[in-house]
Amino acid sequence: MASIIVTGVSRGIGEALAAALLERGHRVVGISRSGNAALRSHAEYREIAADLGDSAALERLLRQALELSGPSARTEGIGLVNNAAVLRPLRGAESSSPAEIAYHLQVNLAAPVVLCALFARHTELWACDKRILNVTSASAEILLPGMSCYCTAKAGLDVFTRTMGLEQQAKAHPIRVASVWPGMIETSMQAEAREQPAAAFPGRDVFVAAKEDGLLSTAAHTAGRLADLLFSNAYPQGEVVRNLEGFSSR
C-alpha cells in the first residue's frame, strides 16, 4: 500500500483520483480548503483543510501530510499529486487586479513548486519509490486570450517539472517527477469557463464548442488513467506527459 498526497480533493479530478487510489488499496492524504465528506468514509483516507494561497502554511502542511502518510510510506512508496488549481481571472491581464494575479500564481504555480521542494527535502533519505505528478494543462502551450495567468502558471510548472527531473537524477534516492496534461474534462472549472461573458473572455467559445461537440472526458475516466500513470513501470523522469493513453499500473 503506497501513500499518496493529493491536493484539490474537494471536487473534480482531485476527488475522482483520490477515490480511484483508495479503491486500488492505497492510502490517500487529501488536501483542500473545504474537505470531502464522501471520501471520509474510507478507512485509508486522511484529510487536511488548507488554503494553498497561504504561502506561510505550506511547510507545516507538507510535514503534516507526511506524518499522516504513515510509517509504511517509507517502505511501500510515497507520492505527491499537485492537482489543486484556480481558473480565474478569466479576462485580460490589464483588467485583472494585482491581488487576483498574485493569488492565482500562488495557488497554481508557487504552491506546487514549494510543495515539490519540501517533499524532496523531507524524503531525501527515504529509500523507497517516490513520485511526484504535477497536473498541468495543454494551456501551457495552447494560448487563449483571457487566460494569461492560467497559461503562464501551467507553462511554468511544466518547466519546473523538467528541471527538477534533471536535479533528481544525481540523488542517491531520486524522486521521479512528471507533469501531465489530463485533457478536457467535464468539471466545475469547465462550466465556469463556459459561463463567462464572451466580451470579457474571448476564449469562452473554445470551451462551449468542446462541450457541444462531445469532446469532454469524465473525471472518473481521467482519474483512472492518472492512477495508471502514477503507478506505471514506465513512469517518466522530468517529462511532460501529453497523452494519458498507453500507461498501465504495475
* Peptide bond preceding 197 in cis form (omega within 30 of 0): no
Q: What is the helix (H) or strand (E) element at residue 133, kind and residue range?
A: strand 130-135
**Helix segments in 25-110, DSSP class H:** 58-69, 73-76, 98-105
Angle between helix 111-122 and 148-168 (nearest 10): 20
Q: Establish how many alpha carbons lie within 13 A of residue 119's alpha carbon, considering only the half-sphere containing its beta carbon.
A: 28
**Which amino acid makes up residue 225?**
R
| The total number of residues written for the chain in this structure | 250
Distance CA 221, CA 217 (A): 7
- Secondary-structure breakdown of the chain: helix, strand, coil percentages, each rounded to the nearest 5: 45, 15, 40
Q: Which cell is 113 given?
A: 513548486
Distance CA 136, CA 83 (A): 8
150 is catalytic: yes
Long-range (24+ apart) CB contacts under 8 A made by 227-233 are 227/17, 227/20, 227/21, 227/24, 229/133, 229/178, 229/180, 230/4, 230/21, 230/79, 230/81, 230/131, 230/133, 231/2, 231/24
Q: Which of 45, 103, 150, 235 is catalytic?
A: 150
The catalytic residues are 150
